[in-house]
Amino acid sequence: MTITAVDTPSLTTEAAAVLAATPGMRYADFLTAAPAVPGIVAVVAEESARAALGLTPATGDVLAVDVADESLQCREVRAAFQSGRTGASQLRQGLAALLRDVLALDVERTSPGAAGAGFALTPESEETLTAWMREHLTLRAWVAQDASALEGVAREVAADLAPALQPGAL
């Protein structure tokens, strides 16, 4: 995790470099180590996870990039790694779709107006997906002094890194 104390000529270049190369942290470690400051978070897949997701090595290891506008420990980051939250997390939805057969995930229908567009993972499948994510995914973070620039920097970083599951991010 890198915290930038001073502006650089290109925040986007710096953020992309940090998020592409910094070693990731497991979710539990990230929650204890990440400062409660705004930043950009990248969700990263290890090699075996990329294979399970059907991603080629050329895809890169970054799955999603998103702004944590209030804190690196924001609700979106926590929701993405918690069971029972697949309907509220586009990252979890994408992973569930790609891992459905690999992890033997079961879905159940919900009311059409519910989060998740009328489907949800069974409680057992929620736990299976969460365990897989916590074992195979890591988080990287970058923080700049000027939080007002984060939204634009995150968009540009996502364009540069082309995360495999980016639309809607976390």
Of 124 and 168, the structure prediction assigns the larger pLDDT to: 124
CA distance 4 to 82: 29
CA distance 170 to 90: 6
- What is the DSSP-derived secondary structure letter of residue 162? -
pLDDT of residue 58: 72
What is the total residue count of the chain? 170
pLDDT of residue 8: 52
* Burial readout 75-89 (b: 16 or more C-beta within 10 A, e: otherwise): ebbebbbbbebbbbb
- Radius of gyration, CA atoms only, the chain: 16
CA distance 113 to 4: 42
Q: Is 7's pLDDT higher than 60?
A: no
pLDDT of residue 9: 58
Q: Is 11's pLDDT higher than 90?
A: no
Structural contact between residues 146 and 46, judged by C-beta atoms closer than 8 angstroms: no
Question: Alpha carbon 105 to chain centroid distance?
Answer: 20
Of 88 and 92, the structure prediction assigns the larger pLDDT to: 92
pLDDT of residue 114: 56
> Phi and psi (nearest 5°) for 77?
-65, -45
pLDDT tier at 136 (50, 70, 90 boundaries)?
Answer: very high
Q: What residue spans define the domains of the chain?
A: 2-161
- Taking residues 18-22, report their average pLDDT: 88
Give the strand pairing for 137-143 and 119-121.
Answer: unpaired
- What is the DSSP-derived secondary structure letter of residue 37? S
Q: Is 133's pLDDT higher than 60?
A: yes
